[in-house]
């Protein structure tokens, strides 16, 4: 709640200083029917940006963005899910300009073409919609790190790996993580679930490559994973305890070498 209040205050305080927007915004569209409006400030350092026509939680939400460097290009950036994101990338080539939409949770950018004519009154409408949404704290809620969403995604990685063990080895293994020991910063920065899924993935691969390995691993039913600053793997009874680190190299090779000596 404190985080939400803090972000909301930032958004509201921004509005205290009235935005001086250009009369005619940049209107963009894609072949898939996506529409994007960019109403820049007179100094072109900021812009209100709205995307419509996508199946995503940012659809029809107006964000106040900053135009910042983005590699060799520039991008309109905003805060979403706890981190700064690029919503529209601008390739400022000699003809100026080409635009690419970056949708959250999607790896592929969407090419946007610029409409030749701008709709009258759209800037005023966009600013009014922005004010209404800020008052409801919509942007503030979207700016906060969504831990539950990230946990679900990370757990899916481990479940997929466990299912591969069942398929390749004919045995059931469950990979567990005490998520309360993983802070938001680590969960946001690292694919914790992928790191912890490495043991199950290696077991499945070894069963596939060597049928005799199935009997060696048949008594293992649990993998307990800890995301730490070290790399260790130990077996006790039916449990493998795996400590994994984002900095440790050759983790797959380390896991395989240990499993071969069971």
- What range defines the domain where residue 249 resides? 147-260
Q: Do 26 and 110 lie in a common domain?
A: yes
Q: Do 35 and 163 lie in a common domain?
A: no
Q: Do 179 and 244 lie in a common domain?
A: yes
Overall domain count for the chain = 2
Q: Do 112 and 232 lie in a common domain?
A: no
Q: Do 111 and 162 lie in a common domain?
A: no
SS3 of residue 98 by DSSP: strand
The last residue of a domain, from among 143, 161, 182: 143
Q: What is the pLDDT of residue 3?
A: 54
Residue positions counted in the chain = 262
DSSP calls for 166-182: HHHHSS--EEEE-GGGS
pLDDT in tens, 64-82: 999 999 988 999 999 999 9
* Start-end of H helices in 138-250: 138-143, 147-169, 184-189, 192-196, 198-209, 213-217
Q: What is the pLDDT of residue 14?
A: 44
Q: Do 24 and 127 lie in a common domain?
A: yes
What is the bridge-based pairing of β-strands 73-80 and 26-29?
Answer: unpaired
Q: What angle do CA 59, 148, 245 make, to 5 degrees?
A: 120
* Res. 12 pLDDT band, cuts 50 70 90: very low
Confidence check: pLDDT of 16 > 50: no
The last residue of a domain, from among 143, 160, 192: 143
Q: What is the pLDDT of residue 92?
A: 77
Confidence check: pLDDT of 13 > 60: no
User: Span 88-94, mean pLDDT?
Assistant: 84
Q: Do 129 and 219 lie in a common domain?
A: no
Q: Do 96 and 210 lie in a common domain?
A: no
pLDDT in tens, 148-166: 999 999 999 999 999 999 9
Q: Do 241 and 154 lie in a common domain?
A: yes
Confidence check: pLDDT of 40 > 90: yes
* Mean of the per-residue pLDDT values of the chain: 91
DSSP calls for 44-83: SSEEEEEEES-SSTTBT-EEEEEEEEETTEEEEEEEETTE
């Amino acid at each position: 709640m404190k985080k939400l209040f803090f972000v909301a205050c930032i958004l509201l305080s921004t509005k205290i200083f009235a935005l001086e927007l250009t009369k005619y915004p940049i209107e963009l569209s894609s072949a898939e029917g996506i529409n994007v409006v960019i109403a820049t400030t007179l100094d072109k350092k900021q812009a209100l940006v709205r995307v419509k026509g996508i199946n995503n939680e940012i659809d029809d939400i107006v964000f106040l963005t900053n135009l910042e460097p983005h590699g060799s290009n520039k991008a309109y950036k905003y805060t979403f899910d706890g981190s700064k994101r690029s919503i529209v990338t601008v390739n400022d080539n000699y003809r100026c300009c080409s635009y690419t939409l970056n949708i959250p949770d999607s790896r592929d950018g969407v090419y946007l073409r610029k409409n030749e004519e701008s709709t009258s009154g759209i800037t005023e409408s966009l600013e009014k919609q922005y004010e209404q949404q800020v008052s409801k704290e919509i942007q503030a809620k979207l700016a906060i790190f969504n831990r539950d969403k990230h946990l679900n995604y990370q757990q899916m990685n481990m479940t997929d790996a466990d299912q591969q063990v069942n398929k390749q080895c004919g045995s059931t293994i469950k990979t567990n993580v005490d998520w309360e020991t993983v802070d938001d910063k680590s969960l946001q920065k690292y694919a914790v679930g992928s790191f912890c899924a490495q043991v199950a993935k290696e077991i499945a691969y070894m069963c596939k490559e060597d049928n005799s390995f199935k009997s060696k691993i048949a008594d293992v039913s649990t993998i307990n994973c800890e995301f730490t600053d070290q790399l260790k793997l130990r077996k006790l009874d039916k449990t493998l305890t795996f400590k994994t680190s984002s900095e440790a190299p050759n983790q797959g090779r380390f896991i395989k070498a240990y499993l071969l000596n069971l």
